[in-house]
């Protein structure tokens, strides 16, 4: 198994310890150091081949985002921060993920798996080819599993296929449902929204909250609220408004503005 070198850039000992404990459980990660400031991290990057950096935003001497800007060939970067307002700037710098503290293990796992896929895709394909394939395959380089084209729903005591492109909303109520652009509502036989989210194109669908995934083409307008949350108004046939939390608002803005 190929191992990838990583470092933690974090000045809070407890936060660094949480990430360290998780890294030690991941067989393909090799922790090369814990840096309490970004200048020390820069020095370490010059001495070691580092594949992945876990980076805090607020650091002494040099801020995390300035650290990223200063790197000519940055490794994969996962930002961990208590401040959600820097998420958009982070994604503009092509960080792999932006995790809010306290960081949960399942969030770390998803972010690390994403980094591993990116690294392996770059190693597998020549320079330039990987980026081209990322574009034409919707970001699926190195992953042969295609996005799901149809979902089977229960309609009037019979099974019926629905094209994924025709689905405006996936919703978790007492059961799981889909809402189509034509206004139909059907029961979907799934056990979790996470399971659904893994099957659909993230360029087309956004996980708005725990109960709802929306199709970008279903959105009519976005209303910001005073508490930094957002409310989406969907197309009239769907008859639904969807809330987006303050934490997810910067990610949603970036997803919409492409």
Calculate the dihedral angle through the C-alpha atoms of 40, 46, 48, 54, rounding to the nearest 10 degrees. Answer: 50
The predicted structure's pLDDT at residue 137: 47
DSSP 104: P
The predicted structure's pLDDT at residue 177: 93
In a domain, 142, yes or no: no
In a domain, 145, yes or no: no
Q: Any idea which residue has 């896929």 for tokens?
A: 117
The predicted structure's pLDDT at residue 51: 95
The predicted structure's pLDDT at residue 233: 94
**Same domain membership, residue 84 and residue 20:** yes
Taking residue 157's Cβ as centre, other Cβ atoms within 10 Å add up to: 5
**Same domain membership, residue 37 and residue 123:** yes
Count structural domains, the chain: 2
**Same domain membership, residue 248 and residue 183:** yes
Sheet holding 76-81, edge to edge: 29-35, 4-9, 52-55, 76-81, 97-100
Angle between helices 105-124 and 13-23 (to 10 degrees): 60
In a domain, 35, yes or no: yes
**Same domain membership, residue 181 and residue 124:** no
Taking residue 129's Cβ as centre, other Cβ atoms within 10 Å add up to: 13
**Same domain membership, residue 195 and residue 94:** no
The predicted structure's pLDDT at residue 194: 85
Assign residue 33 the CATH number of its domain. 3.40.50.2300
Three-point CA angle 233, 235, 241, nearest 5°: 30
**Same domain membership, residue 176 and residue 118:** no
Assign residue 228 the CATH number of its domain. 2.40.50.1020
In a domain, 155, yes or no: yes
In a domain, 187, yes or no: yes
The predicted structure's pLDDT at residue 127: 47
- In angstroms, rounded to a whole number, what is the distance separating the alpha carbons of residues 148 and 165? 10
**Same domain membership, residue 169 and residue 88:** no
Interval 114-155: pLDDT, tens: 898 888 876 554 445 445 545 444 444 444 457 888 998 877
In a domain, 238, yes or no: yes
**Same domain membership, residue 107 and residue 189:** no
Q: Strand pairing of 97-100 and 205-209?
A: unpaired
**Same domain membership, residue 216 and residue 178:** yes
Residues in the chain, pLDDT under 50: 125-127, 129-130, 133, 135-144
Domain containing 48 equals: 4-136
Contacts of 160 (CB under 8 A, 6+ apart): 152, 153, 154, 186
């Amino acid at each position: 198994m190929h191992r990838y070198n990583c470092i933690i850039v974090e000045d809070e000992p407890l936060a660094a310890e949480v990430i360290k404990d998780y890294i030690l459980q991941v067989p393909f990660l090799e922790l090369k150091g814990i840096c309490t400031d970004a200048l020390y991290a820069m020095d370490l990057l010059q001495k070691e081949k580092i594949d992945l950096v876990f980076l805090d935003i607020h650091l002494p001497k040099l801020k995390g985002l300035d650290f990223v800007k200063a790197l000519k060939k940055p490794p994969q970067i996962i930002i961990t921060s208590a401040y959600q307002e820097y998420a958009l700037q982070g994604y503009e710098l092509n960080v792999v993920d932006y995790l809010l503290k306290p960081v949960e293990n399942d969030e770390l796992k998803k972010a690390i798996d994403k980094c591993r896929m990116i690294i392996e895709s770059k190693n597998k394909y020549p320079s330039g080819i990987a980026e081209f394939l990322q574009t034409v395959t919707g970001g699926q380089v190195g992953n042969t599993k295609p996005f799901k084209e149809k979902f089977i729903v229960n309609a009037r005591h019979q099974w019926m296929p629905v094209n994924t492109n025709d689905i405006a909303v996936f919703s978790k109520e007492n059961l799981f449902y889909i809402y189509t652009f034509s206004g139909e509502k059907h029961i979907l036989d799934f056990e979790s929204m996470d399971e659904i989210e893994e099957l659909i194109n993230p360029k087309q669908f956004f996980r708005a909250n725990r109960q709802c995934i929306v199709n970008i083409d279903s959105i009519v307008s976005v209303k910001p609220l005073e508490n930094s949350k957002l409310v989406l108004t969907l197309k009239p046939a769907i008859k639904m408004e969807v809330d987006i939390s303050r934490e997810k608002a910067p990610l949603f803005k970036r997803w919409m503005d492409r």
